């Protein structure tokens, strides 16, 4: 090894700096730029966020869950996202995604779930008694879960039907027709997209 | 009892896909690193030649192990400084539609160390902190080159084993450039577009403002996500564009993207085992390592999957239905997404920690104690279960050396591996490489669990779970994984500095003995196998190797785990909360 300053510069420093510069241009600018151009050309709907419109008005993204409170809409899962400054809970804040990170033996988790069950039962007096679907009382990983389980949707059918003056059977059929199955019948879990379902509910009225 | 039939089918198919990808990828990588022409050469060879010319690199000139190390260190230092600079000046640079300010110095340092070392630990929320330019030119760039660095080093070590009576291990610049141009970049170009077709976003738009049907206001973060997402997995990096990482629907919208992302995480690591066999002239040597990894992979699933599918008994008492059925995934759904349920969440978690990826599609801090123990132990075992790109192979080879050494001790013969005598110097280097990690992890964790600066960050969880969080932070940092028990408030001076230190030690203090080891082996002669040679291809070797990995891991970490996840599991069954 000849570690003279000159050989150090020629053999190591120049390649290191030049390669850093050129690969930054290639991998950090050209590559994402080319992917963006192709994505915008081939899949503009998906590349821009799968945004949904109703009556010409932007009402959300098919992939990003929303905070639903009105009894006439199906509700999504609890969300543990915080406000932008992190000071307080702000459910479904889509510019600050995140989970509760509550551990399995955390008091706060147990208390929170207990409160959610009570609230859920209060909001859905006509729902079948007994244990409630797990996904309706636990916060998702992203805080932006756009989906609920079939059980969680069926649980809310009596409330939604009553609030809209529809028969439970009509709403039930609507839920079942909006179930998205497993990929190839194997991968993932069957689920119902909440925005999709609620848009269909509103369309039913017209 | 609590695993569903569908779980079995998904896991079997996933492993079959990994198996099917191993040989073609391994063969292709062998060609790339042997400098042969590939079917992509017409496209990339001119670019490759241009890069060498512009950088003053003579591709025919190989380096000794010392030269290889210096090149790697200087190159990584340059990239780390560039990233730090970008983070600190992003407010004046373009592609910042949300007008995000500069990243604070200690957080910028932690992040620069994190992405340079292929860790991608994140003490920040991407959508609140990093401009689009920083995400691309800073973070996406490091996703590529930290992966290519790992691959280059693994190849150098394999050359040390494959060549004999030689001096050189290869040319770092060439290995790095070829890994990037012929392997990572083409797969990413195609993979990113497939992800976009499923709903992963790829734009430079300002965040979208939505007035919801229910009368609310929602601001939805956007960005050039797909191009970073695919290399995040393929390079076993794991740093999410968004805070929620691969749980975020814009990073991982469907079961198909989930499958692609898991395959991207594990395939290069698996393929490198085959490449190793090919380069040393006996593919069965590679398959033996592959088999050991597959056994450990399934073992992890066998613990974590029933634990998560079984759910949280404390919630069952409250009247939560955690039974899997045709209508719901059931199980412990806190921190998990409905589209993935339990199986796809746990499979992703085991995949991301068996390798050094660290991307998550569900939040590990909310896993049951045994469900969370598996990712922790996977990382602590050295991420050799297929492992990170490159790092998995060189880590597994250290265990293989240790295994032949122990086998040699048992029968009283000088151990050999691939026809090379393993002597004092090699065993010292292998032992050093394997001891640095536990010393760093347990040392830092011990300090953090007594200092007020360490304990102050236990803002979400306390009790034994708090200790698990601290152990996880240093295990993940040192193992260059990057997944987290994220309830621990990591963005403090104490954790930013000690975490960054653990990442740098875990990467570079591990790499130097490994290359020294390669440098010492490359000069040795090959002795022909005799009747006393312990074969390193059969089931006996595979079981010994699995045993050594598990015993070394258990002896090192069991006391700490007993106080964290294991005691928490027992207390949870007893109904205790904290």
CA distances from B437 to B350, B367, B379 (A): 20, 25, 10
> Above 80 in pLDDT, residue B52?
yes
Taking the Cβ of residue A142 and every Cβ of chain B, the question of whether any pair is shorter than 8 Å is answered with yes
Which residues of chain B neighbour A6 with C-beta distances below 8 Å? none
> Above 60 in pLDDT, residue A1?
no
Nearest CA in chain B to A49: B201
Q: Residue B360 and residue A40: Cβ atoms within 8 Å?
A: no
- Judge contact between A96 and B243, C-beta under 8 A: yes
Token reading at B437: 């990690």
For helices B65-89 and B141-162, angle between their N-to-C axes, nearest 10 degrees? 170
Mean pLDDT estimate for chain A? 95
CA distance A165 to chain B (A): 18
What integer pLDDT is reported at residue A206 of this predicted model? 53
Q: pLDDT tens digits for B381-437?
A: 988 999 889 889 999 999 999 999 999 888 888 889 999 999 888 888 888 888 899
Alpha-carbon distance of B251 to B244, in angstroms, equals 9
Q: Residue A107 and residue B362: Cβ atoms within 8 Å?
A: no
Taking the Cβ of residue A46 and every Cβ of chain B, the question of whether any pair is shorter than 8 Å is answered with yes
Which residues of chain A neighbour B242 with C-beta distances below 8 Å? 97, 142
Alpha-carbon distance of B520 to B16, in angstroms, equals 38
Q: Residue A42 and residue B196: Cβ atoms within 8 Å?
A: yes
How crowded is residue B539: how many other Cβ atoms within 10 Å of its Cβ? 9
How crowded is residue B293: how many other Cβ atoms within 10 Å of its Cβ? 27
Complex ipTM, two decimals? Answer: 0.96
A103 closest CB neighbour out of B79, B337, B461: B461
CA distances from A96 to B116, B130, B491, B523 (A): 25, 12, 16, 54
Q: Residue B197 and residue A42: Cβ atoms within 8 Å?
A: yes
Residue with tokens 């050093």: B432
Which residues of chain B neighbour A130 with C-beta distances below 8 Å? 319, 321
> Above 90 in pLDDT, residue A62?
yes
| pLDDT confidence tier of residue A2, bands split at 50, 70 and 90 | low
Helical spans, DSSP H, in B280-413: 283-310, 313-316, 343-354, 369-380, 391-411
**Which positions 114-133 of B are in contact with A (Cβ < 8 Å)?**
125, 127-128
Mutate to test the interface with A, among B71, B126, B337, B341 (most CBs of A within 10 A): B337
Alpha-carbon distance of A172 to A195, in angstroms, equals 16
Which residues of chain A neighbour B79 with C-beta distances below 8 Å? 20
Residue with tokens 């760039």: B141
B227 closest CB neighbour out of A35, A98, A133: A35
Nearest CA in chain A to B369: A104
Pick from A105-119, B188-202, B245-259, B425-439: least confident: B425-439
Mean pLDDT estimate for chain B? 94
> Above 70 in pLDDT, residue A79?
yes
Nearest to B60 by CA among B173, B223, B196, B153: B173
SS (H, E, C) B327-351: CCCCCCCCCCCCCCCCHHHHHHHHH
Q: Residue A134 and residue B321: Cβ atoms within 8 Å?
A: yes
CA distance B555 to chain A (A): 26
B218 closest CB neighbour out of A10, A92, A100: A92
What integer pLDDT is reported at residue B1 of this predicted model? 45
Token reading at A35: 């992917």
| pLDDT confidence tier of residue B527, bands split at 50, 70 and 90 | confident
Q: What percent of chain B has pLDDT over 70?
A: 100
What integer pLDDT is reported at residue A130 of this predicted model? 92
* Radius of gyration, CA atoms only, chain A: 24
> Above 60 in pLDDT, residue B246?
yes
Domain spans, chain A: 51-203
CA distance A28 to chain B (A): 4
**Which positions 13-42 of A are in contact with B (Cβ < 8 Å)?**
13-20, 22-24, 27-29, 31-32, 34-36, 38-40, 42
> Above 60 in pLDDT, residue B313?
yes
Taking the Cβ of residue A70 and every Cβ of chain B, the question of whether any pair is shorter than 8 Å is answered with yes
Token reading at B186: 């083409």
Nearest CA in chain B to A139: B334
Q: Transcribe B99-123 into DSSP letters.
A: ---PPPHHHHHHHHHHHHTT----S
pTM, to two decimals: 0.96
B78 closest CB neighbour out of A16, A139, A148: A16
Alpha-carbon distance of B128 to B137, in angstroms, equals 17
Taking the Cβ of residue A129 and every Cβ of chain B, the question of whether any pair is shorter than 8 Å is answered with no
Phi, then psi, of B221 in degrees rounded to 5: -65, 145
Q: pLDDT tens digits for B553-578?
A: 888 999 999 999 999 999 999 999 99
* A49: exposed, middle or buried (Cβ count in 10 Å: 0-12, 13-18, 19+): buried
Helical spans, DSSP H, in B199-282: 226-234, 255-279
């Amino acid at each position: 090894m000849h570690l003279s300053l000159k050989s150090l510069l020629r053999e190591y420093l120049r390649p290191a700096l030049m390669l850093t510069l050129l690969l930054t241009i290639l991998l950090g600018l050209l590559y994402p730029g080319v992917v963006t151009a192709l994505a915008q050309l081939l899949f503009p709907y998906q590349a821009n966020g799968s945004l949904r419109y109703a009556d010409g008005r932007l009402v959300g993204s098919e992939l990003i869950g929303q905070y639903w409170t009105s009894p006439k809409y199906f509700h999504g899962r609890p969300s543990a996202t915080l406000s932008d400054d992190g000071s307080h809970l702000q459910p479904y804040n889509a510019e600050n995604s995140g989970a509760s990170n509550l551990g399995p033996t955390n008091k706060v988790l147990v208390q929170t779930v207990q409160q959610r069950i009570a609230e859920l039962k209060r909001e859905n007096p006509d729902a079948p008694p007994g244990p409630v679907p797990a996904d309706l009382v636990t916060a998702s990983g992203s805080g932006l879960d756009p989906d609920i389980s079939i059980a969680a949707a069926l649980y809310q059918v009596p409330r939604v039907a009553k609030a809209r003056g529809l028969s439970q059977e009509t709403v039930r059929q609507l839920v079942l027709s909006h179930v998205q199955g497993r990929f190839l019948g194997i991968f993932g879990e069957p689920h119902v997209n909440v925005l999709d379902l609620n848009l269909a509910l509103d369309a039913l009225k017209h | 009892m609590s695993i569903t039939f569908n779980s079995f089918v998904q896991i079997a198919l996933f492993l079959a896909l990994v198996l099917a990808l191993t040989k073609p990828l391994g063969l292709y990588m062998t060609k790339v690193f042997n400098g042969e022409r590939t079917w992509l050469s017409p496209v990339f060879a001119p670019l490759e030649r241009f890069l060498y010319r512009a950088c003053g690199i003579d591709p025919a000139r190989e380096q000794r192990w010392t030269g290889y190390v210096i090149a790697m260190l200087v190159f990584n230092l340059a990239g780390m400084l560039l990233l730090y600079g970008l983070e600190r000046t992003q407010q004046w640079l373009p592609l910042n539609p949300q007008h995000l300010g500069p990243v604070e110095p200690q957080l910028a340092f932690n992040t620069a160390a994190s992405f340079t070392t292929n860790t991608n630990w994140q003490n920040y929320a991407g959508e609140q902190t990093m401009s689009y330019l920083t995400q691309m030119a800073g973070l996406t760039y490091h996703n590529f080159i930290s992966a290519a660095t790992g691959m280059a080093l693994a190849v150098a070590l394999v050359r040390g084993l494959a060549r004999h009576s030689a001096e050189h291990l290869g040319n770092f610049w060439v290995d790095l450039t070829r890994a990037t141009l012929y392997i990572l970049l083409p797969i990413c170009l195609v993979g990113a577009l497939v992800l976009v077709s499923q709903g992963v976003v790829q734009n430079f738009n300002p965040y979208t403002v939505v007035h919801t049907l229910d009368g609310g206001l929602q601001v939805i973060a956007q960005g050039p996500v797909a191009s970073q997402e695919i290399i995040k997995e393929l390079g076993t990096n794991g740093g999410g564009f968004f805070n929620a990482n691969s749980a975020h629907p814009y990073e991982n919208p469907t079961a198909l993207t989930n499958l692609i992302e898991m395959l991207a995480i594990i395939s290069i690591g698996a393929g490198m085992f085959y490449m190793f066999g090919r380069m040393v002239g006996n593919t069965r040597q590679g398959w033996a390592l592959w088999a050991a990894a597959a056994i450990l992979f399934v073992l992890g699933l066998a613990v974590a999957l029933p634990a998560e599918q079984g759910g949280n008994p404390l919630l069952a008492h409250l009247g939560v239905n955690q039974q899997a059925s045709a209508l719901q995934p059931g199980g412990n759904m806190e921190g998990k997404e409905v589209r993935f349920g339990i199986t796809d969440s746990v499979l992703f978690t085991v995949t991301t920690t068996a390798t050094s990826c660290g991307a998550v599609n569900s939040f590990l801090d909310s896993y049951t104690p045994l469900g969370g123990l598996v990712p922790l132990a996977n990382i602590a075992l050295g991420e050799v279960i297929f492992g990170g790109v490159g790092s998995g192979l060189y880590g597994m080879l250290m265990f293989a050396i240790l295994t032949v050494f122990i086998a040699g001790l048992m029968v009283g013969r000088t151990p050999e591996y691939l026809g090379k005598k393993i002597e004092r110097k090699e065993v010292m280097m292998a032992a050093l490489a394997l001891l640095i990690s536990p010393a760093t992890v347990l040392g830092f964790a011990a300090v953090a669990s007594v200092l007020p600066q360490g304990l102050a960050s236990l803002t979400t969880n306390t009790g034994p779970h708090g200790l698990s969080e601290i152990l996880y932070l240093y295990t993940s940092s040192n193992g260059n994984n990057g997944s987290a028990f994220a309830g621990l408030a990591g963005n403090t001076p104490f954790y930013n500095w000690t975490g960054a230190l653990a990442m740098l030690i875990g990467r570079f203090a591990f790499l130097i003995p490994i290359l020294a080891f390669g440098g010492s082996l490359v000069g040795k002669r090959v002795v022909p196998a005799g009747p006393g040679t312990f074969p390193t291809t059969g089931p006996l070797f595979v079981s010994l190797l699995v045993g050594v990995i598990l015993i070394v891991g258990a002896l090192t970490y069991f006391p700490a785990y007993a106080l964290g996840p294991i005691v928490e599991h027992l207390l949870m069954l007893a109904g205790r909360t904290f």
